[in-house]
Amino acid sequence: MSWIQLTIRTEQDRAEAIGDSLSELGAQAVTFVDAKDTPVYEPKPGEVHYWPNTEVIGLFDAEDDTDIVIAALQNDFGQQQPLAYTLNPLEDKDWEREWMDNFHPIQFGKRLWICPSWRDIPDPDAVNVMLDPGVAFGTGTHPTTALCLRWLDSLDLTDKTVVDFGCGSGILGIAALKLGAKRVIGIDIDPQALEASQANAERNGVGDQIELYLPENQPQFEADVVVANILAGPLRELQSVITDYCHPVGVLALSGILVEQAEEIEQLYARDFILEPVQTEGDWAMVSGFKK
Ligand SMILES: C[S@@+](CC[C@H](N)C(=O)[O-])C[C@H]1O[C@@H](n2cnc3c(N)ncnc32)[C@H](O)[C@@H]1O
C-alpha cells in the first residue's frame, strides 16, 4: 500500500477544525504537530498577520484525489489567506515494518529498558517498559525522550506522584510507574496520544495508575515530579501551568529544548526552581531542578 501525506501549516486555533475536515475528506489518520519553533511564513509589510504554528497532517491513500481535498480545504479555510501545505508521497513500502525492524530494546540509565512489544526482553530483571507507540511520539530513540528517561532512572520514584506533560505515547509516565511511582497524570493536546498512552500503560500492567487528560480538562494537582517534553515555545507559554503542577521541593525536567534555547528557558524557570547543570544530547537540551 502506498500513501500520500498532506501537511497543512496553520494557527493553533484553526487546527482542530482543519483536522476534522481532513477526516471527513477521507484521511486515514490525522496528527497534530506543534511547529511553533519552526515558523515557515512571515507576513510581508502590509499583509494580514499570519503565523502558522501548528502542522495538521492527514494521511491519505495514494489513490485518493488530494486536489479535491485541497480545493475543499482552501474553500473552507483559505479565503483570507491561502492555506500553506505540502504533499509528500510515502514510498511504496511497508513503513511500519521498516520502523519495527529498526526499533530495538534500548537501556536508559542503570535500571530502565524500553523494549518494543514485539521483541524479546534482553534483561528480565531490569525495569522493562514494553512499548508500541503507534502514531504517537515517544519511543526513546529521540534525544529529548532519552534525556528524560535517564533523568527518571536517576530518581527514587518510590510512591511518588508524577505529571507527564505532553505525554505522547506515555513513555515517560509509564517508565516512572515501572520505576516505582504510584500515580501519573498525563496531559496531551492530541487525543490519539492519550489513547496510545492508555493502551501502553495497560500493556505494562499500570493502566489503573495513570489518568490522561486533554489540556482543557486537566485537573488541579501538585505532583512530586513533573516532566514536560514539549517544545521551547509551549514551555515558555505554559510556564505558570507547569510550575504550579510541581509541589514545593518537587522536581522538574523540561525537554524538547534546542541547546541555544536552554539559557532562556533556564532564566524563566529559575524564578521558582533551583536548577541543575543543563544536560545535552546532540542539538537537544534538558533543564531540570527542584522547586524552591
Ligand atoms: C516531543 S513529544 C513528547 C512525547 C513523550 N512525552 C516523549 O518524551 O517522548 C511532545 C508531545 O507534547 C504534545 N504537546 C505539544 N504541545 C502541547 C501542549 N501545549 N499541551 C500539551 N501537550 C502538548 C504533543 O502532542 C506530543 O505528543
pLDDT tens, N- to C-terminus, the chain (292 residues) = 577 889 898 887 788 899 889 988 988 777 777 665 444 444 445 544 445 678 888 888 888 899 999 999 999 998 888 888 989 887 544 444 444 555 678 899 999 999 887 778 889 999 999 987 555 555 666 788 889 999 999 999 999 999 999 998 899 999 999 999 999 999 999 888 899 899 999 999 999 999 999 999 999 999 999 999 998 889 999 999 999 999 999 999 999 898 989 999 999 999 999 999 999 988 889 999 999 9
Q: Can you give the pLDDT at residue 101?
A: 56
Q: Can you give the pLDDT at residue 43?
A: 46
Q: Please work out whether the CB of residue 224 comes within 6 Å of at least one atom of ligand 1.
A: no
Residue stretches of the annotated binding site for S-adenosyl-L-methionine: 145, 166, 188, 229
Is the distance from CB of 254 to CB of 269 less than 8 angstroms? yes
Q: Can you give the pLDDT at residue 61?
A: 82
**Buried b / exposed e across 280-292, counting CB within 10 Å, b at 16+?**
ebeebbbbbbebe
Q: For ligand 1, pick from 13, 137, 192, 258 the residue to mutate: most ligand atoms within 8 Å of CB.
A: 137
Q: Can you give the pLDDT at residue 137?
A: 58
Owner of C-alpha cell 475536515:
21
What distance in Å separates the CA atoms of residue 268 and residue 103, rounded to the nearest whole number?
A: 36
Hey, how many other C-beta atoms are within 10 angstroms of the C-beta on 246? Answer: 22
List domains and CATH numbers for the chain. 3-93 (3.30.70.120), 96-291 (3.40.50.150)
Q: Can you give the pLDDT at residue 91?
A: 58
Q: Please work out whether the CB of residue 144 comes within 6 Å of at least one atom of ligand 1.
A: yes
What distance in Å separates the CA atoms of residue 235 and residue 17, rounded to the nearest whole number?
A: 24
Tell me which DSSP letter residue 207 carries.
G
What distance in Å separates the CA atoms of residue 280 and residue 147, rounded to the nearest whole number?
A: 8
Q: Can you give the pLDDT at residue 1?
A: 57
Q: What is the ipTM of this complex?
A: 0.99
Q: Please work out whether the CB of residue 34 comes within 6 Å of at least one atom of ligand 1.
A: yes
End-to-end CA distance of the chain, in Å? 54
Q: Please work out whether the CB of residue 167 comes within 6 Å of at least one atom of ligand 1.
A: yes
What distance in Å separates the CA atoms of residue 121 and residue 152, rounded to the nearest whole number?
A: 20
Q: Can you give the pLDDT at residue 192?
A: 84
